[in-house]
Amino acid sequence: VVKIRLQQQKGLSPELFKYKGPIHSARTIIHEEGIFGLWAGAAPTVMRNGTNQAAMFDVILWKKHEGDQKVLQPWQSMISGFLAGTAGPVCTGPFDVVKTRLMAQSRDGGELKYKGMIHAIQTIYAEEGLQALWKGLVPRLMRIPPGQAIMWAVADQIIGLYERRYICSAAL
């Protein structure tokens, strides 16, 4: 929440800043919204991250299972990572939008626009339409799939190296 609130001020002149830094932001949020204000958007964050990690393309595409001693080629790992990195944001887009909206709102003496995850989804849908729940998808797709492709390729090669050494030393 602190990060989102500080980022919202980007482009404003410093005299218009409501938050002067991370500590001041946290204190202001606690004062205005209570301690739980620091966790606004936690539920959709958990939903987004949990869904994002559910894809197992190694099993689907390559019949690779943990501990089966099969080492994928780097290009295979990259394809798996890229697909998982694509599926995650597409499936979790609404949770990401809702998380950001919940974290970005501040009371400022008035009522909160979004009262929780479900209310935020309903409000965004009613006011902006279904497509608004996937706002920011293109920039996420430009960032996440390539990163996942590289991460999976490196991780699979390191795990494969470890498994080969462990199996070889165990056989001796």
Helix (H, G, I), strand (E, B) or coil at 169: helix
**Shared domain check, 76 and 148:** yes
Predicted pLDDT of residue 30? 93
Shared domain check, 84 and 61 = yes
Average pLDDT of the chain?
A: 84
Does residue 83 share a domain with residue 7? Answer: no
pTM for the whole thing? 0.61
Instruction: List the single range of 8-12, 55-59, 90-94 with lowest mean pLDDT.
Output: 55-59
Q: What is the pLDDT of residue 16?
A: 87
Structural domain of residue 26, as residue ranges? 1-40
The answer to whether residues 157 and 75 belong to one domain is: yes
Q: Can you give the pLDDT at residue 87?
A: 87
The HSE-up count of residue 140 (CA atoms within 13 Å, CB side) is 18
Per-residue pLDDT, 52? 45
More confident residue, 114 or 46: 114
Same domain, residue pair 26 and 79: no
Which residues, at least 6 apart from 3, have a Cβ–Cβ distance to it below 8 Å? Answer: 22
What was the pLDDT predicted at 60? Answer: 82
Nearest to 77 by CA among 58, 91, 93: 58
Residue 74 burial (CB count, 10 A): 16
**32 and 107 assigned to the same domain:** no
Average pLDDT over residues 50-62: 63
Q: How many domains does the chain have?
A: 2
Q: In this structure, are 84 and 48 located in the same domain?
A: yes
The reply to whether 47 and 32 lie within a common domain is no
CA–CA separation, 40 vs 14, rounded Å?
25
Same domain, 70 and 107: yes
Q: Are 95 and 158 contained in the same domain?
A: yes
* Residues 80 and 124 reside in one and the same domain: yes
Domain identity same for 27 and 94? no
pLDDT at residue 151, rounded to an integer: 86
Q: Calculate the alpha carbon distances from 107 to 31, 89, 121, 172 in Å.
A: 11, 29, 19, 67
Nearest to 98 by CA among 126, 119, 128: 119
